Structure 1
Amino acid sequence: MPTYGNGQPLPAPGGASQEVITLTYRNPATKYDPTITEGRLLRKGEVIAITGLSETTLWRREQEGRFPARVRVTQRMTSWYASDVYAWLADPVGYRREVSA
């Protein structure tokens, strides 16, 4: 019986085929290695994939000081320091960004 990657049975097309089909889901965040963070910058798509937060939620939490601030790299590009994002991942509920005076 064909199954999905999670083991659930896959309905055969037309009900007659016995072809085995395996579908797998890869979490895009798994390609990012949290051990390689020294000086690395993450783009918005990477941060969204790693954290699972939406663009709006990232912005709102940044404004509240509950997520690391983005860094302006060029006039049209912003990024986040990987070390800051992984520090947030270690304690997302208790994270508070240090605000410079």
Structure 2
Amino acid sequence: MPSDLEGAMETLIMVFHRYAGTEGNSATLSRKELKQLMEMELSSFLKSQKDPAAIDKIMKDLDTNGDGEVNFEEFVSLVVGLSIACEQIYQKQKQTAGQKKP
């Protein structure tokens, strides 16, 4: 039985490949595939974005090699960045909760 972390890594890989290659290259996400992935898997994050061009900006930031697609390594950088931001929020909430105790 895989550990929680092994399961999380497997899920990350499976989610990427569920969307990659629905059009074109099966090892990368096109802009359309990235948008679908984010709408389905990161909908709360997208709703918090006020900028209607958020997907285009994210695509540009992730596509470090400039090929117009996002490979798995580039995709993981998005997940890492969002995970770091979520962990920082978690720490702030934890601090705030600790300060409220008598």
Task: Work out whether the TM-score is over 0.5.
Answer: no
> Which structure has more helix as a fraction of its residues?
2
Which structure ranks higher in relative contact order (CA pairs < 8 Å, sequence separation ≥ 6)? 1
> Which structure has more strand as a fraction of its residues?
1
TM-score (norm 1): 0.28
Find the structure with the greater CA-based Rg: 1
TM-score (norm 2): 0.28
